Amino acid sequence: MFPDPTFCVYVATAVVAAFGSMLFLWWLGKNHFHGSSVFVYVMILLMGETLRSVVDSYGRWLSLYQHQGFIELSGGWLWTARLLVLLIALIAIVSHMTYRIIKGPEINRRRRGDDGRI
C-alpha cells in the first residue's frame, strides 16, 4: 500500500512548512518576541500551509482508500477551515503592503523629521 506521488508531496509540504513555522517561532522567541510584522506574517503563512497540507494529506488518503470518508470530509467544516489561516495571513500581508504604499511617503517624512520639501 504505497501512497501515490501527490500524497507524498502533501506530506513533504506539511513537514517542511511545520519545520519552517517552528523555526520562525523559535527565532522569534530567541529575540524575545520582537520581530517585524512581515516576519510574523510569514510565520503565520507557514503555519497555515502546515494546516492545509495536513488536511490535504488526510483528504488524499481518504480519496484513495475510503471514498465515503473523503466525501464527508470535503463537505465538512475542516475542509473549509484549512484555508482560513492562509486567508488571514494573505489579507494581513496585502493590507500591510497597501498601507505602506499609500502612507509610505508620509511615514518616511515623519522618520526624517521634515515635510519632504527640498
How many residues are present in the chain? 118
CA distance 41 to 102: 20
- Each domain of the chain, given as residue ranges in start order, spans 5-112
Rg of the chain over all Cα atoms, to the nearest angstrom: 20
**Residue 54, pLDDT score:** 95
Q: Output the CA–CA distances (angstroms, integers) from residue 45 to 35, 82, 85, 93, 99, in the order listed.
A: 15, 12, 7, 9, 19
**Residue 116, pLDDT score:** 52
Taking only the tens place, the pLDDT of each residue in 75-109 is 999 888 889 989 998 999 999 888 888 887 776 66
CA distance 70 to 88: 26
Taking only the tens place, the pLDDT of each residue in 106-115 is 766 676 665 5
Does residue 56 register a pLDDT over 80?
yes
The most distant pair of C-alpha atoms in the chain lies apart, rounded to whole Å, by 72
Confidence tier at 38 by pLDDT (50, 70, 90): confident
Does residue 2 register a pLDDT over 80?
no
